[in-house]
Amino acid sequence: MNAGLLQDKVVVVGGVGPGLGRAICMQASGAGGSVVLAARTESRLAEIAAEVEAAGGQALSVPTDITDDAAVDNLVRAAVGRFGRVDVLVHNAFAVPSMKPLGRTDFGQIRDSLDLTVLGGLRMTKAFTDELAKTRGAVVMINSMVLRHSEPRYGSYKLAKAALLAMSQTLATELGERGVRINSVAPGYIWDDQLRWYFGELAAKYGVTPEQIYEQTAAKSDLKRLPEPDEIARAVVFLASDWASAVTGQTLDVNCGEYHR
């Protein structure tokens, strides 16, 4: 479906997990890109890198704490040392929100979220800017549909993601003259193993089936279903590719029509 969109490009994915992070790596590789995987959990990186290679792609795993300057600098050296260039940076690092009202949210938890989500994205972008400028490359920030609503208990999460969006837009303006594009993807619910587990917990709590929880949630969307990881990842691939060469400073919502923008 996306064959060739990232042909011969080198894609660095920060915040690789078993759900969306894995899907981004697999879709980027399927589009012809070589993938550099970065996250703190080395065993997870090795597992997904092996999956990329088993499918015929090229992958490099670099255990990285994106809140640490030295670790991110090492990631840049490793990526360039192996592949000679970097064309795309995807910032997918995720901090689990507190899910408490802001009045009862611990400031330390908010600071940690901002450090990972916002400053981590800035640290990665700054570190890779020179390499991305050489290739007139692209950065894709993974945001969230939390931008589109104001519901109780999402305050700390929305605070971090709203700051990430503002930062992304400013970076698009600042780095545009160097040919670097900065865009965001804002997923809705993502139908992966984590959400399946959560819906199972809700079903047990309320005495209904997981299928009923899914149907009630999906009913809010135009397509009456929830997007899957590969569908989010393909939006990332598009924004990272030359097909989006005139797109920067934008946010692409991928939520099956739950929110309109």
Q: List, by residue number, the catalytic residues.
A: 157
Q: What's the CA gap between 254 and 175, in Å, rounded?
A: 25
Q: What's the CA gap between 28 and 2, in Å, rounded?
A: 9
Task: Specify whether the CB–CB gap between 35 and 56 falls below 8 A.
Answer: no
